[in-house]
Amino acid sequence: MAKRSLRACLLATTLGLASGTLCPLHAAPQPAYSEASHTSSQYDVREVMIPMRDGAHLQTVIVTPKNQTGPLPILLTRTPYGIPDQAVIDTDSVKDISSALPSWKAFQKDGYIMVYQNLRGRFKSEGQFLKTARYDANDPMQANEVNDAWDTIDWLVKNVPNTNGRVGMYGVSYAGMTSGITLLHPHPALKAISEQAAPADQWMNDDNHHYGALRESYTFEYCVLEQADKNKNTNYDFDTHDVYDWYLRVGPVRNTDRLYTHGKLSYWNANLDHPDYDAFWQEEAWYKKITGSTVPNLNVAGFWDQEDPMGPWDIFYKSQSHDPDHTNFIVAGPWFHGGWQRTDGSSIGPMLLGGHKTSKEFQDEIEAPFFAYYLHDKGAKPDWKARIFETGSNTWRTYATWPDKHVSPQNLYFHSDGTLSFVAPKVQDTPYRQYISDPDNPVPYRPRPISPTFPVREWRTWETMDQRFVDHRPDVLSFTSAPLEQDLRIAGPVEAHLFAATSGQDSDFIIKLIDVFPEKGQESVYSKDDKASWAQSLDGYEFPVAMEVRRGRYLRDFSHATPLQPNKVTEWPVSLRDHDHVFLKGHRLMVQVQSTWFPLIDRNPQTWVPSIPDAKEMDFKAARQRIYTTPQAASNITLPVLQ
């Protein structure tokens, strides 16, 4: 038989299957089914349509090693992006397979039956694409990702020959969510999962919003990607080279639908219709229903994840509430969204990582052994709670608890002269620093021209970009420490406490914690490139360690927006998430504060409107922003210092 790509195999036949009888919870229907198959020298590949309890059939590919000598476990990935995640794979070449599918090579050392499934409503899978994480335990016939996973696993263990009866699930991003959400009601055959970069709360701190601030460009373009055409992933065709200009020209965000998409993107419009943390978003926050570690789970997070930075931590912390068998783990490293599966992990942005190939190390030394232990009875159970790659020192660390019990919170204070230190401010003539925030001239979130989110690669690493591109804008304040006399190691949650006042009735504040490199002698990925430009040097680089936004209307209540009192000094707590980083001797710490971050975050009118998506052009007004640095209003960042 001539060589064919797995992609060609998957798309060669459109299957028409008989619907099965609806069944009660816990028992997937078992009708006769048709299938397409492909045999290579190393793998048998079958495409089947697996029935769900509501009668929908999901397109599924089963890849079995031909040299299988005994029962093998199943590793399942459920994705909306096309199986297997758009990769064209020659099934006659292990090399091609391992380069196209995440972790394939590491997994096949132990041997697995690999299964990939398109979610309902995507590509050839039947039903309506859910684009939701809702789950009602009291509705056994509800179409949701928990029940679809259950029915899929039930079918697989009953219909795939020569398995050992154990199933694992893993995946990144949306596929991470479909893995992690099985914690809410796992099938008995599901013995291990690895949710990786899974969104957990789309309003608080993942894809669509950060603390209620709409992530405008990413959310709009992602909705186009997934909802414009069920049979493909679609990138929006902008008519402007710099998308900063396009979004600014759009004006208030509701205009995107009025001018361009005309009701075609239901999930985008849902974001605009539900600006507050109402019942719609609270139901989407599926991780809150976790009652403990019901299945061994390897949570995976990237410190520079530009899409789902908080989900894995939320899932990890919630599962820790009941973990008597010590089966809940967290791994975090120097990665953008899914970077541990897409690169070798030898650098993050322009920064080298001390000779480590962190992605390969994760796959070979952490991920594969985790599944081998729980699905093959090979090796040893992890004897750590957290396995973290510490940047700065470029060292893998293991922790028995997270955060480590030896962490000591220390406050890094802002001063009115623009300095930053661990010494609290004293009474001073000027109790604040100020700037004018103008929503008609917003601060770009990365250097212009800004490319589209998809498919251009700049989106992946923007969180590591040198922050000097805004350092001297009049609407960005910078506070900088003296060079460190010794290494400063932080490991754990970082939180800012901003004392601020605005002349408006609403406002955003963006806070960035930055590691400022020395001005000479810094090695980067470009150091040995004779053609590298002057700008590609790491000398003086302002490397963002943590960045976050907080929206003023939700300071009192996330579910009910209220106006700010103009010119009143108010404390703004801003979580900057968990980190493990060493600010090296000779480096300086910097904090930047600003009020726009465009078009990543939609513009705040800075006047009071009931709903920002429904604001009018006339509502957007400039406001004076003051950051206070007094003993009574001491703006600071609390660092988890580890001695």
* The 3-state secondary structure of 62-121, one letter per residue: EEEECCCCCCEEEEEEEECCCCCCCCCCECCCHHHHHHHCCCHHHHHCCCCEEEEEECCC
Spatial distance between the Cα atoms of 330 and 299, rounded to a whole number of angstroms: 5
Instruction: Give 239's strand partners.
Output: none
User: In the predicted model, what is the mean pLDDT of the chain?
Assistant: 90
Place of tokens 């932080």: 490
Residue 37 pLDDT level (bands cut at 50, 70, 90): low
Residues 162 and 68: beta-carbon distance below 8 Å:
yes
Residues 330 and 312: beta-carbon distance below 8 Å:
yes
Residue 21 pLDDT level (bands cut at 50, 70, 90): very low
Residues 302 and 335: beta-carbon distance below 8 Å:
yes
Residue 488's CB: how many other CB atoms inside 10 A?
Answer: 22
* 7 has pLDDT over 50: no
Spatial distance between the Cα atoms of 547 and 627, rounded to a whole number of angstroms: 17
Residue 194's CB: how many other CB atoms inside 10 A?
Answer: 26
**In whole angstroms, how far apart are CA 590 and each of 80, 474, 514?**
40, 17, 5
**Structure token pair of residue 50:** 């697996």
* 100 has pLDDT over 90: no
Q: Could you report the per-residue pLDDT of 586-604, keeping only the tens digit for each?
A: 999 999 999 999 999 999 9
**Structure token pair of residue 121:** 């409503």
Give the Cα-Cα-Cα angle 171, 274, 493 (nearest 5 degrees).
50
* 88 has pLDDT over 50: no
- In residues, how long is the chain? 643
Q: What is the pTM of this model?
A: 0.92
Mean pLDDT of 329-336: 98
Spatial distance between the Cα atoms of 424 and 411, rounded to a whole number of angstroms: 8
* 192 has pLDDT over 60: yes
Q: What is the pLDDT of residue 112?
A: 96
Q: What is the pLDDT of residue 537?
A: 87
Residues 301 and 313: beta-carbon distance below 8 Å:
yes
The conformation of residue 265, written as its DSSP 8-state character, comes to -
Q: Between β-strands 395-399 and 386-390, what pairing exists: parallel, antiparallel or unpaired?
A: antiparallel
* 40 has pLDDT over 80: no
Give the Cα-Cα-Cα angle 602, 606, 609 (nearest 5 degrees).
85
Q: What is the pLDDT of residue 35?
A: 58
Mean pLDDT of 520-537: 80
* 225 has pLDDT over 50: yes
* 270 has pLDDT over 50: yes
Q: Name which residue leads in pLDDT, 342 or 219.
A: 219
**Structure token pair of residue 496:** 């800012």
Q: What is the pLDDT of residue 18?
A: 28
Q: Name which residue leads in pLDDT, 87 or 578.
A: 578
* 15 has pLDDT over 50: no
Query: Dihedral of CA 316/320/322/325: which sign?
Result: positive
Torsion, Cα of 132, 134, 135, 136 (10° steps): -140
User: What are the backbone angles phi and psi of residue 255, rounded to the nearest 5°?
Assistant: -65, -20
Residue 39 pLDDT level (bands cut at 50, 70, 90): low
Exposure string (b/e) for 69-103, b if CB count within 10 Å is 16 or more? eeebbbbbbbbbbbbbbebebbbeebebbbebbbb
Residue 232's CB: how many other CB atoms inside 10 A?
Answer: 13
